[in-house]
Structures are given as structure tokens and as C-alpha cells.
Structure 1
């Protein structure tokens, strides 16, 4: 893990404390200045002392004269008390600001601790900050959501790595076994051995190419060009028509223009994978596949439906995971390498689209791909 080498500085709590105290001092000084100016408007420049006067009816006893303080007298009396008040405000601002800043930054310490825990590899940790929604709690909730997505992604990648290792090891182990048998049995039919080796090698090549295609889609390392999904659907169905006829599957195509931007090769592969899965995972005979494209208010849509046995929605939710082949991990001749829908999902996500898998009520599967639409000029 790489850390930025930073020079030491003041803590945020101390900065907030100083800010609170400075604001309180400025507000207090401003209030004292306003009061002082208001008082000085009604005070003469110099002190005024009136001579004693005699009040009638009191035996001519003199009364003391009046004393009106001047501005200098008012300032001498006001300045020490104002200074004392500012000192008290400074103490209150520092102490109160330190306490308030600590309370305000307490959620941030929990977020920091969770971040360090996640940096150490503990992706299962969650902040789960209580209380009403505010900026800190929105940040904590967003961080919890990010950790959940990272944990799911890491778990998926680990499953993918384990499955890929298993799938790649299988053809290599079979090849090694065939070679060992051939070495020990010199009279074994060479043509049969070569045919089996070619089959195993072809499967290994297909798996490797599928892994590379999946990696390319995940990295989004492709140039975006105008693509019409209807043309991709027509090409995919035409290419797979012999396979459909071999399985006794009929294909119906309703290809309306569906312009989008993306990689022509990846989108064609995506469509081909969907049609291939619909043909292979179908009824034993008299099955149907329906491929449709069109424009909807939320973008362009590609829909591939196929008949088949009824599927559990919980099982359907796992179909886009790598090396999942429906209800059983079979290795039939046309079963593929288990990456078809994983490539479809990665391709859709790389094109900022959405993929939906729904089991049909009568059996089979409906796959819907939604991609952003584009104008004739090719701009989103």
C-alpha cells in the first residue's frame, strides 16, 4: 500500500477550535465596539461639573453640583471591563470549541478506523453509524456500500480464479493422462489418441480465448463505434442456425433497428452467446428461441427468450457467475466453457447497460439487455 509522505500539521480539531474561538472573539469585539460607539454619542468630550446650588425651603442649605463624565472618563471605566470580557470569551471559545469540535469529529474517527481496517484487508467490517442523516452519516453509508461491493467483487474474483484454475487444470490433466497411457501402451490406436488430444486441446483454447475476452470486457479496453444490435442479432442467428437445426430448435427473429455505441466485436459476441445458450439449454425437441431488438424510452433493447424446463429464480441469479452451466455443471459437446453469460454481463456493464434474467412461467429463460441509445450521427 502506498502512503503520501506529508509534513506534520495542525489537527482538524485544533483548527476548528481556533476557528470557533476567533469567531467568538470577533463577534464579542464587534458587539463591544457597537456599545462603546453608542455610548460615546451621548457623552461630551470633556467632563462637566456644575457648581452647588441652593434649594428653596430647605434653610438655604446648598445642594451638591452635578458631574457629567467625559469620554476619557467613560473609556477609563469601560476599557478594563471590555478587556476582561474578551478574555473570558477567549477562554470560553477555546474550551467550548475544543469540546464541540470533538463531538462533531467523533463520527470521522469511526470512518477513519473503518478505512484503516479495510486497508488491512478486513472488508467485512461496517461502520453502521446510528442517528439521523447528515453529511457524516451519508459518508459512512456510502463507505459501507463501497465495502459491500468490494467484498462481493473480491469474493467473486476468488471464485473465478478458483474455477478458472480448475477448468484449465482439467484439460491439462487429461492430456497428461493420455500421453502417459500412450507411452505405456505402444499398440494403442494413434488416430484415436490424436482425436482425443485435439478435442481436449480445442477445449483449452476455447477456455483461454473466453478468459481473454472476459478480461477485455472488464477493462473496457475498446473503441466505441456505432453499432446496430439488430444486425448483430441477425448475424448471430444466421451463424447458429445449423446448430439450432441439429437440436431441433426453431428460431424467430424480430429485429428492429437498435442503434447504440460500443465495440462491434464484443456486442456480436454477447449476442452470439445469448443465442447459443438459448439453443443449447432448451427442450430436447421442438424447442423455440425468440430474438428481438428495438428502441425503448430508456434505450435500445435486445431480448432473447427460449423454452425449456422451469427454473428456480435463485438459481437464475447465479447464471452470470463464471463457470455456471445452468442446473448442472455438464460437459456436453455444446455446453461451452461456462463463461457465456459472464462475458455477456461484463460486456453489458462495460457498455453502461443493464442485464436482466427472468425465468419464464412456462419454462425457459428470458434475457433482456438494455443499452444506451444513440442518434444517427453516433452521439449519445
Structure 2
């Protein structure tokens, strides 16, 4: 036995009907009080008999006494009228309750019709048809705002699914290409019995394997940072940046630091990876005899880290592409000599996990400035 479904339409109908019934009953009650007490109950005394002067010693005329039987009949008639009024009012109230319930049912259905259309459309949308939209038309009311909000959610989901598909395709290619290279290298080495050639092939395999490990480690870090934080602990951005700079390989670049002890709360390994990726990216994408500036301190009263480097000129409309996995300035796939193509993507994911703000600004003379502002630490 299925229980009845208490739909919104049914609940609105019952609510409207109950409100009408209560309002109608209150109105009839007030009307009845007016009829009983106000109209016939003014208690106006009958007029006094006129004063009759007695002249010439004649006896005064007799004034007839009030007809008590007439008054009784009038009281009975009034009581009967009030009873009929109560009966008629009750019958009318019951009939109007049914009429109001029917009208409430129709009006509730009309009001909820856009919601039903939204439910049908949303039910038809799947991961393969996220391009569809509700596109609700009509006045700017709550239902229209709800439909627009849902359309915005679909747009964000479509963007996320597209980014996921591109990421999976790019990651698959990045992992498949080294495997294909290793297979070809092994086949060539096995066909040549020369020990020197075999040793050279093994050395190239080791280099290629190291690159694969770098890609897998970057992918795991990206997945971990996108999952969110499991713990938070005090982290000194200046100390972490100093450690990263000390272990970096600046080539022929000048690395300048301005580090002020600045403590934030977060995942220490992820924050270290964030700063390391910023520094490595600034060193890798630079020019000969260029510079890298690393600053740590307070920006807008928030613990912050900023890395600025010289380098090629970056068009402002392509800055967002730098945050996409396996992308470079010309929006094509990044090649191995430039890295694995996940550096700034990991930075963006770690920034989001820490509820921080990431700002990337191309420098007028070339290069990029990346500023990460962490949230203010909560007082203990």
C-alpha cells in the first residue's frame, strides 16, 4: 500500500483553503455579532407618552399599555431570523470552502507549472547534454531567479566536464608517449647485440622513466590538492621559500629574495609544493641572464607569497591558459623540454584548497608575476 504523496500543490491547496476558511469564519462571526448586538440592540427606549393637560376638570385620557404579546412575537421572529442567518452562513461557508479549494488547486498548479517544466528539463539533462539550458522566460520573480541559478550551475558543470575530458586526454597522451618510446627503444636494443648500445638504451630508459615519475607525482599532487585539506598547521611562508630557493637550480639567473616571516595555516607539504612550482616555473620560463624575485610578507593584511620573473612577453588574453594542465602560451600541448605542464595547474589547485587568492599578471617587459594571498589566520 503506497502512502499518499504530499506534493507542494496539495499542500498549497490545503493552506489556501484553510486560510480562506479561517478568514470566512472570522468574517461571519464579526457579522453575526454586529447583527445580534449592534443593529437590533441599540436599546432605544420607546417614546414617552405625550403630556396631556387636563382642562376644565375633564378626566385625563387613558394611555394604552404596551402589547406584551407583540413584543414576544417580535423576539421570537428575531431569534428565528438569527438561527436562519447562522444556518445559511454555515452552508455558504462550506460551499465557498470547496470552491476556494478548487480555485486554490488551479492557481497552485498554474504557479507551479514552471517548476514542473524545470523538473522535466533537468531530468532530461545528462553528462552528454550539459549544453542544454532551462532558458526560463517570464517576469523577474523567484522562479526565474531559480531557473537562472540552475542554468549557471549547468554552465559551470559543463565547463568542469570539458576540463576533465581535456585533462584525461592530455594525461593519457603524456603517459602513453613515454611507454611507446620505451617499447621502441627496447625493441631496437634487443635487435642489436652490442653491449654498448644496450647500455645506452638502458640509460635513455632511466631518463625517460624519471620523466614518467615526475608526471605521475605531479598528477597525484594535483589530485590530492583538488580533494581538499585533511589537516591545517602553522606554516612560515618565508622559511619555506628560503628552503626552496636554497635547493633550486637557477642556471645563469639572478634570484633575489625579500622574505619577511609570515605565518599562515595550511598543509605544509602542499604549500611547499606550491612555492617550489612557482620558483621552478619562474626559472624554467625565463631568458638568459634574467632575474627571479621572490617576496613573502603581508598583502592586504593577508599572508602572501609573490614570485616575479623576466621572460617572454605574455599576451594578457592567454594568461588563463597557463593555469590549464598541459598547456602553454600558444594553447598547444607543452613539450617535455618545458616540463610536464602541470606546474601552475597544481599551484591553482593548492590555492583553491587553502581558500587563497591567486593573481597572475603579465609584466609589460616580459615574464609573469604570480601572487598568492592566503586567508588571514584565525585567532587561537
Shorter-chain TM band: 0.7 to 0.9
In 2: Cα distance, 1:7 partner to 1:74 partner: 47
In 2: Cα distance, 1:133 partner to 1:293 partner: 47
Equivalent position SS for 1:130: coil
In 2: Cα distance, 1:95 partner to 1:135 partner: 25
Query: What is the TM-score normalised by the length of structure 2?
Result: 0.85
Query: What is the TM-score normalised by the length of structure 1?
Result: 0.85
Structure 1: stretches of 5+ with no match in the other structure? 1-5, 51-63
> When the two structures are aligned, how many residues end up with a matched partner?
349
Aligned to 2:33: 37
Equivalent position SS for 2:5: coil
Change (3 A) 1:324 1:330: closer
TM-superposed deviation, 1:361: 1.2
Change (3 A) 1:136 1:361: same
The CA RMSD over aligned residues, in Å, is 2.4
Matched, 1:28 2:34: no
Aligned to 2:7: 11
In 2: Cα distance, 1:23 partner to 1:329 partner: 66
Change (3 A) 1:204 1:296: same
Q: Is the Cα contact below 8 Å between 1:225 and 1:263 reproduced in 2?
A: yes
Matched, 1:68 2:64: no
After superposition, what is the alpha-carbon deviation per residue over 1:261-309, rounded to whole angstroms, capped at 9, x for unaligned? 11111101100101111111111x1211111121133522211111112
In 2: Cα distance, 1:8 partner to 1:118 partner: 28
TM-superposed deviation, 1:44: 7.7
In 1: Cα distance, 2:156 partner to 2:327 partner: 21
TM-superposed deviation, 1:82: 0.8
TM-superposed deviation, 1:106: 2.0
Q: Is the Cα contact below 8 Å between 1:43 and 1:69 reproduced in 2?
A: no
Equivalent position SS for 1:68: helix
In 1: Cα distance, 2:29 partner to 2:126 partner: 53
Matched, 1:271 2:279: no
In 2: Cα distance, 1:157 partner to 1:151 partner: 10
110, 123, 138: which one aligns with 2:117: 110
Matched, 1:155 2:159: no
Aligned to 1:297: 300
Change (3 A) 1:122 1:331: closer
In 2: Cα distance, 1:208 partner to 1:8 partner: 54
**Higher Rg:** 2
Structure 2: stretches of 5+ with no match in the other structure? 47-66
Aligned to 2:352: 349
